[in-house]
Chains A and B, each alone.
Chain A
């Protein structure tokens, strides 16, 4: 099946700093989503971005499908950004997302 690798596995930032999270995948995809899992375990969808660039407030994401990677940018980080960020992809012909192992982000005040 399709492989999803996320980097870095862990990231510690000071409040106000910017960061870039990366997701590499092993095959063509028709669906890519980014999720945030907060410290209480709740998973929230951030972006649906199989290709191109999207922005939502301080967060933005870019997927270069031909090169099989996606980037999530967090600007001016806040302590509420802490948690785990997951990238999930769906290969052509599939009907379910495969998740990466996540990037654990800790934003310190």
Chain B
């Protein structure tokens, strides 16, 4: 099991450029999430998905779009990057079964927008 993987690990963009971050999980989890973490802060929810073909907005969705065409993949898109989107982005998947609930995180993508 690779768990939750994220591609790429690092990226530098210029203002106005677009990009897509890929999150993949091989644990057959229904729920997936995208968070951003700014220096010295906690994680803020951008978008999430409760199953293939579904998406929902989190706390800070503006400037981002997502798609969940396959259960194992959750894509985060930036259509026109801004310096305020410089952050570390974490993807997570989650499973609730047998009386427990566990969220697994990917290693993160460090994005810098110049």
Contacts and interface: CB of A to CB of B under 8 A. Distances in A.
Q: Secondary structure at chain B's binding surface: helix, strand, loop or mixed?
A: strand
Interface stretch (A56-64, A68-76, A98-106): A98-106
A88 B45 CA distance: 11
Contacts, number: 49
A42 interface: yes
A34 to B, nearest CB: 11
Interface size class of chain A, counting residues whose CB lies under 8 Å from the partner chain: 20 to 34
Contacts of B45: 96-98
Contacts of A96: 33, 45, 48, 58
B24 to A, nearest CB: 17
Given A33-B101, A41-B88, A48-B102, A95 B42 contact: no
Interface of B: 31, 33, 35, 41-45, 48, 50, 56, 58-59, 88, 90, 92, 100-105, 107-108
